[in-house]
Chains A and B, each alone.
Chain A
Amino acid sequence: MPDLTNALALGASIAKGETTAVKAAEAAFARIDARDGEVRAWKTIDRQKALAEAAARDAEAPRGPLHGVPVGVKDVIDTGDLPTGYGSPIHEGAQPAADAACVALLREAGMVVLGKTVSTEFAMRHPGETRNPHNLAHTPGGSSSGSAAAVADGHVPLAIGTQTSGSIIRPASFCGVVGFKPSWGAVPRGGLKMLAESLDVIGAMAHTAADADAFAQAMAGRSFNPVQAAANPPRFGIARTKAWTSIEHASAAAMETAAAACEAAGATVTDVELPPAFAKALDAHDVIMTYESWRMLAYERAMHWDQLSPALQAVMERGAGFTAEDYAEALKVRSACRHGLKSAFADVDVLLTPSATGEAPEGLSFTGAPEFNRIWTFTGAPCVTVPGLTGPKGLPVGVQIIGKLGGDAEAIAAADWLRPLLAG
């Protein structure tokens, strides 16, 4: 049976002829058949197409370390051969003319698109049908709900997520997988349904940091560089931001456990102070996101307002209330934070923060709060959530690693180092 929980290992065994892309896709479909009635991670699947694509990959020499590996694509990203509905009734069933750039690049690297995963409405708050595979009565988080659940539940080893506030890191934390939000701009966004251009980032859901990194590199159209293990244990910094006032016991305990594990393994963990500009970061993120979404989704609001959820309407209306001057001021705060971030990293390699306020909330209507993600998305810094810990309800709780701007490889290396220390 092909192992659907380790993409690089699966790619290696396909390359060696131990298994095939077709067998991997068949195993994925078997798992989906057994589980997706309950989990509901998938929006659209065309088995014949996926199997034909897998067979075509089996007939070729491997084009990269993930050749033949099946992946899920969040349904806010265009696929030229599968409908793309952006989680909205307005676009339900629409068929794009082309693949998004990131999809074309992952196909070029030999991966097989298994299908489209459920997204919340336009990657905002209004949830889809997906449930948390660890407890079906709980949310998987959002907006990359289906991608996180599909990976967590072993349907596919990799899936694409996108993040504007906390839409990769939070669902990954709730579902107990690795979520990787690369530096802003690393993965090309052509063919992504934009929500807020200054914030939207394409990233990865996986079971290991190395898998997430390899996947993101392929989607960025880069040649593969394996994770570089650090010579010394990383120097971690903890920045107690405004968001800490909303922390729940589960995340507070996870942070203590993770910090203790880091120190026990020889790493340093020190408190760091974020520069004063960060005091305005949460508000400025909200201005940029809402101001831009009012404009990015101008077609939908002007022509189909009644088909937008009340939650999205409220976000967009808040954006309509901000002026061009408010927006320009928020962009200045962002520049100041980006610049100021350098000082936070003066004596540490990466920051360690909670991934979410706690465990996945019960019920499907609320996908959880992005309070621990927004300021990092705002700055464009790379973020990785590392699974392994659980909370009082037995649900997964991740801890998040933040890298310097452009320091994606370092953040991934730290996550890779931390991952085995948290595994139960």
Chain B
Amino acid sequence: MTIDDPTQLGALEAARAIQAGDLTSVALVEALAARREDRDNAVGAWASDSDDQDIAHALDEAKARDAEDARGPLHGVPFGVKDIIDVAGLPSRLGSPIYADASPAIADAASVALARDAGMVPLGKTVTTEFALRTAGKTRNPLNAKYSPGGSSSGSAAAVADFQAPLAIGTQTGGSVIRPASYCGVVGYKPTFGRIPRAGVKSVSESLDTIGVFARNVADAAAFAAVLEGVDPVTLDDALDRPRFAFCRTPAWDKMSSDAHKAGRAAADKARAAGASVIDIDLPPAFKEALEAQSVVQSYEACRSLAFELRFRCDDVSRALKDYVAAGYETSRERYDWARNVQAVCRAAMWQVFSQIGAIITPAAPSVAPENPADTGSPICNQIWTMVGAPVVNTPGMTGAAAMPIGMQVIGPPGRAAETLGHAAWLHQALTKK
């Protein structure tokens, strides 16, 4: 088999081609680097500057992998790494001028080390908003440069959408994996809270921060997440004859655009037409306070986790971040305890929600990407699911205004990865079937 353009391959496809001897990891890295060079001015997905040698490092690594037997199902496959996550030999700039001149990291973050140990190749650092919070970086939406790629994992979503990487790592505290995946039209997967180790990730809000992945199909995302978790590959439950979905408006429904409402209803119809059962559900009463509670937990923890930067390097902190953390400083201990309690109650209630269904479907973002690259959009569709620690998959296929994508989130109960991913793979197929 000859491969004309390896950048178009999915991750598992590329790994199989490498295994079969039809492709080398070096050739794949070279093709992706060429694609980056062509497209970087338009998309700006990468945080690296020209001195970083990220491609040189990747080529060395790829060469070593090509000389070995496969160490895992994604052996030789390159991936992008959000720039709040350490990669040995490359600086972590965290989207902040404070770290513009950072020295190369000495060690890999745990997740990156697990990927490298499984034979995967770090391709470079992708653009993040400032500390994975508000202030946007240089990345544009690869589908239309007038639009935002979303954030905070802006570069990771854009790089995968633009075929500059088959896979990338992101993080989500509010909606920073699922939202950019929705805006860029790719698969985003945020696993159950706590499963991918966070050592080596800049901590923003410990009770919420979750590592996730971007890919162009659900099976790739599942395989990559399993590598980052250091577990055996998840067998997707994709032979579902009759998936059991629930359509859920969630407390964010009234704040979504009519585009999102329309896309949500159409997705549910497509799922039904393809043979799924789709019932409507409402969330238990505790979830009424969930959005507010998530915001309280995040801002209270962020202003403490970022104490060094906010206190001792504040001249180089953006106005937007200072305004954001002001709420955290003003939050009382009692209010924080209230919010953590709401988190625990909602989390416990998840089992009740999922007693009769396999997964929830709901829009992944309140609209298509904002038509302003500096506005990374709102996480209101994502915050409550991050808060309860649920596995969430953004499933592309639907569109809204200007034919830009609006994803559907597929949500399962914490710990139930295989079934959630299986439902997402099924839905992805149903939504993209011609």
Contacts and interface: CB of A to CB of B under 8 A. Distances in A.
B117 interface: yes
Given A97-B103, A190-B203, A299-B110, A107 B197 contact: no
A264 interface: no
B337 interface: yes
A194 B304 contact: no
A101 B198 contact: no
Contacts of B305: 101, 188, 190
A91 B107 contact: yes
Given A101-B203, A188-B301, A188-B304, A292 B103 contact: no
Contacts of B112: 299
A223 B116 CA distance: 43
B415 A194 contact: no
B408 interface: no
A97 B199 contact: no
A94 B105 CA distance: 10
A88 to B, nearest CB: 11
B106 A185 contact: no
Interface string A390-418: 00000000000000001000000000000
A99 interface: yes
Interface in A39-81: 80
A299 B88 contact: yes
Give the interface size bracket for B toward A. 35 or more
Contacts of B301: 188
Contact of B308 (A94, A99, A220, A295): A99
B226 to A, nearest CB: 9
Contacts of B197: 194, 197, 292, 295-296, 298
Contact of A299 (B107, B203, B303, B307): B107
Contacts of B117: 298, 302
Interface string A102-126: 0111011000000000000000000
Contacts of B198: 194, 197
Contacts of B230: 294-295, 298
Contacts of B206: 185, 188-190
A104 B110 contact: no
B110 A295 contact: yes
Interface string A166-191: 00000000000000000001001111
B207 A185 contact: yes
Contacts of B102: 97
Interface in B204-226: 204, 206-207
Nearest to A217: B333
Interface in B287-339: 301, 303-309, 311-312, 333, 337
Nearest to B231: A324
A208 to B, nearest CB: 23
Contacts of A297: 110, 199
Which of A97, A103, A197 has the most CB atoms of chain B within a 10 A radius of its CB? A97
A101 B309 CA distance: 9
Contacts of B111: 298
A233 interface: no
B411 interface: no
Contacts of A299: 88, 107-110, 112-113, 200
B110 A220 contact: no
A188 B197 CA distance: 16
A80 B194 contact: no
Contacts of B307: 99, 101, 104-105, 108, 188, 221
A303 B229 CA distance: 18
A222 interface: yes
B215 to A, nearest CB: 20
Nearest to A96: B106
A117 to B, nearest CB: 20
Contacts of A302: 113, 116-117
Nearest to A335: B348
Interface string A84-103: 00000011001001111101
A349 interface: no
A297 B333 CA distance: 33
B172 to A, nearest CB: 16
A198 interface: yes
A223 B106 CA distance: 36
B249 interface: no
B308 A298 contact: no
Interface string B279-290: 000000000000
A295 B114 contact: yes
A155 interface: no
A362 interface: no
Contacts of B207: 185
A190 B116 CA distance: 24
A302 B113 CA distance: 7
Contacts of B106: 91, 94
B312 A99 contact: yes
Contacts of B333: 222-223
A26 interface: no
A300 interface: yes
A134 interface: no
A122 to B, nearest CB: 11
Interface string A320-340: 000110001000000000000
Interface in A240-295: 292, 294-295
Q: Chain A CB within 10 Å — which of B199, B207, B301 has the most?
A: B199
Nearest to A86: B107
Interface in B96-145: 99, 102-103, 106-114, 116-117
B194 A197 contact: yes
Contacts of A94: 106
Nearest to A300: B107
A94 B194 CA distance: 28
B202 interface: yes
Interface string B214-251: 00000000000000011110000000000000000000
Contact of A104 (B229, B232, B312): B312
A220 B333 CA distance: 11
A374 interface: no
Contact of B199 (A90, A197, A303): A197
Contacts of A223: 333
B304 A298 contact: no
A328 B414 CA distance: 11
A138 interface: no
A191 B203 CA distance: 8
A227 to B, nearest CB: 16
B57 to A, nearest CB: 14
B103 to A, nearest CB: 7
Contacts of B303: 221
Nearest to B417: A324
A221 B333 CA distance: 10
A184 to B, nearest CB: 10
A197 B197 CA distance: 7
A193 B304 contact: no
A93 B113 CA distance: 21
Given A194-B199, A221-B303, 15 more contacts: A91-B107, A97-B92, A101-B305, A101-B307, A104-B308, A190-B206, A193-B199, A194-B198, A295-B197, A297-B110, A299-B108, A299-B109, A299-B112, A303-B113, A324-B231
Interface of B: 88, 92, 99, 102-103, 106-114, 116-117, 194, 197-200, 202-204, 206-207, 229-232, 301, 303-309, 311-312, 333, 337, 415
14 contacts: A91-B106, A97-B92, A97-B102, A98-B308, A99-B307, A101-B308, A107-B311, A185-B206, A188-B307, A194-B199, A221-B303, A221-B304, A296-B199, A299-B113
6 tightest A-B CB contacts, nearest first: A190-B203, A298-B113, A104-B307, A104-B308, A299-B113, A194-B199
